[in-house]
Structure 1
Amino acid sequence: MPPSSENSPALRPSGDEMASTAEDQIDRRADTAVPEARPQLPQRMVGPIAFGTILQPLNSSMIAVALVGIQAHFGAGPATAWLVSGLYLATAVAAPAAGRLADTLGPRKVSLAGLALVALASLVAPFAPSVGVLVACRVVIGIGTAAQYPCGLAMVRRAADRMRADSHNALAALTVCSQVMVALGPTLGGVLVGGFGWSGIFWANVPLTVVGATAILLWAPADPVRESSALRRTLAELDLPGMLLFVAAMGLLMYWLLSLAQTPFWWALGGAVVAGLCTVWRSLRAPVPFLDLRLLSNRALSFTYVRTIATYTAYYGIFYGLPQWLEESRDLGASGAGLVMLPLALMGIVSTLTATRVQKRRGPGPLLLIGSVVLAVGGLLLTLPTHTSPVWLLVLLCLVLGIPNGYNSMANQNAVYEAAPAAQAGAAGGLYRTAQYVGANLAAAMLALLIGTHSTDGGLHHTGLAIAAISGCLAVAALGRLRSGRARGLRTAAGA
């Protein structure tokens, strides 16, 4: 019988080896031990940080019920679409820039500067002499509100690291504020417009910015001391040429799309193509590009971005088109339109919570199929109402229309995270947000083309058909994604 390895002198460990082995076992036990529970960030700090982030979703969604009043006040037509597009273009450019400035100057300073911009533009907007000046105010508001979310994340991270605290409660608060406010925006906007006219959606920003700034000064974590040279390096890395080229490309494209309802400005399309090609060239050559288009070589990511653009074009077609029809054709007024839109908002919150559970068990594939199919059904349902339809039927319609947003948003967001390389997760997330803003801009152009200056039953029905067509293509793509995923799973199981 061979000697036991434990008793063999040749295999018996020495004293130093035994000590090392014992230390390794202790280290392994320490590594596998249940981590010590860390305290949550205090609510007095989380509240002020989260409060500032409500401004962007509010200002992006309250305008939906104010567009009719603004059109009537200024005698404007499709030009009011720039009130939507201007804010989204500004946000798409300002959000990543504000994040980098927050890392250099300190998030509290950048957040306060953003709040000051929002307050200033909101005080000027009610006295705007023209739609052009009002659009400029919306652009400034977009810049100021865009700073709040990246600055909020930076303040949460700094506070959690300094206090050795768990940041999950703070991150959840940021997410809830964003989802709830964008959903409740039309309802709140309807109340404000009903009480104060279209200017009410701007006046509301003033007390909100004052409260937010005061809370941040009192309870948000202080900024670290930064070197002056760091600011110069950050400004050099902001890729201002890339930002300007992107704005030029999107602005000229929108200008051409909005002109299709009357006399097409083909020169604007040519300029958009040239600016777009220059944007691509700049992205591939800049050391730190504003839009890292090299990520598009990842097929899964590029397909997700295209799907996101199409999804948000359809969703914002509902979000901005339906309130306009409720006000102008159904003659409910801003307050009535906001109340009818409330079920859509509430169902959107419920669907987001449901989609989170499904995502954990099934992944993004089923969510994409459910969201696309229900969005297509909702588009078809938009072809049914007329100006004599009862309110209860419109409420039921809004309940159905609120379902797909939670599923589509959750699925596309997780698809980006799954497909993005870990080292480029930030850049991939930035492109995802840009895709959302591009979709919102295209929705504004689609509505200007299909509805025009006055929303009629026919305009709503044409919008519904367009949404159904877009969503139908998305549903077919989602079904193909599910089938290919199952086929890969079967091949993997057979190989194992």
Structure 2
Amino acid sequence: MYLLRAETERTGIKSPSGILAALSVSNQVISVFGPTLGGVLIGLGGWHLIFAINVPLSLACLVLGALRLPKRVRAGHENVAPPSADVPGMLLFAGSLTAFMLFLTSPGRTHWYLPVIGAFAGGVFVRRELACGGPFIDLRVLSGNTPLLATYARQLLAYTVSYAFMYGYSQWLQEGRGLGPERAGLLLLPMSLMAIGVTVLTGHHAQVRGKLFVGGSAQLIGV
């Protein structure tokens, strides 16, 4: 998204919806092969392989990024230092999420301190971001921005359905139906193929309402 915005500012040409559709299709293709490939890797060498495969892929991304990503040049501002990153904000955000995730992984009275730590770190994070000049996450844009809040709410609901199906359904297939990881991965293919079809069908149209309707209807049919 940053690259698209930078190229739009550089060329003055608005990024066509076809590029966004191509990126979306690429992500959906990854999601098609991901669960199936994950099942195959687990069947071949255990869960370690689904993490080990990320090492060469990450190295390839670093190499391709260094070779292909455009270098941003600020004309007339060569001596201006780049803005500093909000490292404390990043640490507070990561700490809050980590504490909540650890508690949800193993909830219980003995771990009562984890949500307390998460809430405290989250509160400090919000206070810092609202007062920081260059925040990690600019929370001020959420104030009174109903369209943006509605977009986030839609995304939350959509991803809740997708994640529940991708993770909950696959676990049920293995634990409830006794299928192996390879077969469970194959049974997730229809969801991803449906997503690709929706993207191809609606990606080139500018109307947002039609995309939401088609995507939401496809999710309901899948459920």
- The bucket for the TM-score relative to the shorter chain is 0.7 to 0.9
How many angstroms does 1:337 deviate by?
A: 0.9
| Distance in 2 between residues matched to 1:361 and 1:303, nearest whole Å | 13
CA contact (8 A) 1:239 1:290 kept: yes
Alignment-mate amino acid for residue 340 of structure 1: L
What corresponds to 1:326 in structure 2?
173
What corresponds to 2:118 in structure 1?
272
Alignment partner of 2:49 out of 200, 206, 211: 200
> What is the count of residue pairs matched by the alignment?
217
What corresponds to 1:350 in structure 2?
197
**Identical residues among aligned pairs (%):** 38
Q: Report the CA distance shift for 1:180/1:156 in structure 2 as closer, same or farther (over 3 A).
A: farther
Query: What SS class does the counterpart of residue 290 from structure 1 fall into?
Result: coil
Q: Report the CA distance shift for 1:314/1:216 in structure 2 as closer, same or farther (over 3 A).
A: closer
Alignment-mate amino acid for residue 190 of structure 1: G
What corresponds to 2:24 in structure 1?
175
How many angstroms does 1:329 deviate by?
A: 2.7
Q: Report the CA distance shift for 1:293/1:355 in structure 2 as closer, same or farther (over 3 A).
A: same
Alignment partner of 1:223 out of 40, 55, 71: 71
Q: How does 1:47-196 map to 2 (within 5 A)?
A: 150=2, 153=3, 157=7, 161=11, 172-196=21-45
How many angstroms does 1:216 deviate by?
A: 5.5
Task: Tell me the alpha carbon deviations over residues 193-237 of structure 1, each in whole angstroms, 9 at most, x when there is no partner.
Answer: 22333233234335545655565566x26636785753xx33x2x
| Distance in 1 between residues matched to 2:4 and 2:206, nearest whole Å | 27
Alignment-mate amino acid for residue 279 of structure 1: F
CA contact (8 A) 1:295 1:302 kept: no
How many angstroms does 1:279 deviate by?
A: 1.6
Alignment partner of 1:288 out of 128, 134, 145: 134
Q: How does 1:338-417 map to 2 (within 5 A)?
A: 338-356=185-203, 360=207, 362-363=209-210, 366-367=213-214, 370=217, 374=220, 400-401=222-223
| Distance in 1 between residues matched to 2:72 and 2:138, nearest whole Å | 29
Q: Report the CA distance shift for 1:330/1:228 in structure 2 as closer, same or farther (over 3 A).
A: farther
Task: Tell me the alpha carbon deviations over residues 287-345 of structure 1, each in whole angstroms, 9 at most, x when there is no partner.
Answer: 12111111221123223323433432332121111112222332221111111111121
CA contact (8 A) 1:256 1:264 kept: no
CA contact (8 A) 2:194 2:218 kept: no
| Distance in 2 between residues matched to 1:214 and 1:244, nearest whole Å | 27
| Distance in 2 between residues matched to 1:186 and 1:207, nearest whole Å | 18
Alignment-mate amino acid for residue 280 of structure 1: V
CA contact (8 A) 2:21 2:200 kept: no
Q: Over aligned residues, Cα RMSD in angstroms?
A: 3.6
Alignment partner of 1:317 out of 141, 152, 164: 164
| Distance in 2 between residues matched to 1:224 and 1:302, nearest whole Å | 31
Query: What SS class does the counterpart of residue 40 from structure 2 fall into?
Result: helix
Alignment-mate amino acid for residue 269 of structure 1: P
CA contact (8 A) 2:28 2:192 kept: no
| Distance in 2 between residues matched to 1:314 and 1:175, nearest whole Å | 18
Alignment-mate amino acid for residue 27 of structure 2: S
TM-score, normalization: structure 2?
0.75
How many angstroms does 1:154 deviate by?
A: 6.5
CA contact (8 A) 2:25 2:200 kept: no
Alignment-mate amino acid for residue 134 of structure 2: V
CA contact (8 A) 2:38 2:185 kept: yes
Q: Report the CA distance shift for 1:286/1:340 in structure 2 as closer, same or farther (over 3 A).
A: same
Alignment-mate amino acid for residue 288 of structure 1: G
Alignment-mate amino acid for residue 106 of structure 2: S
Query: What SS class does the counterpart of residue 187 from structure 2 fall into?
Result: helix
Computing the radius of gyration over CA atoms, which structure comes out larger, 1 or 2?
1
Task: Tell me the alpha carbon deviations over residues 451-490 of structure 1, each in whole angstroms, 9 at most, x when there is no partner.
Answer: xxxxxxxxxxxxxxxxxxxxxxxxxxxxxxxxxxxxxxxx
Query: What SS class does the counterpart of residue 189 from structure 1 fall into?
Result: helix
Task: Tell me the alpha carbon deviations over residues 93-128 of structure 1, each in whole angstroms, 9 at most, x when there is no partner.
Answer: xxxxxxxxxxxxxxxxxxxxxxxxxxxxxxxxxxxx
**Is 1:253 aligned to residue 90 of structure 2?**
no
Alignment-mate amino acid for residue 184 of structure 1: F
Q: Report the CA distance shift for 1:202/1:364 in structure 2 as closer, same or farther (over 3 A).
A: closer
Write 1 or 2 for the structure with the bigger share of helix: 1
Q: Report the CA distance shift for 1:288/1:363 in structure 2 as closer, same or farther (over 3 A).
A: farther
Unaligned stretches of 5+ in structure 1? 1-148, 379-399, 402-496
Alignment-mate amino acid for residue 250 of structure 1: L
Q: Report the CA distance shift for 1:368/1:279 in structure 2 as closer, same or farther (over 3 A).
A: farther
What corresponds to 1:244 in structure 2?
91
Task: Tell me the alpha carbon deviations over residues 113-165 of structure 1, each in whole angstroms, 9 at most, x when there is no partner.
Answer: xxxxxxxxxxxxxxxxxxxxxxxxxxxxxxxxxxxx75xx269839x85xx99
| Distance in 1 between residues matched to 2:203 and 2:5, nearest whole Å | 26
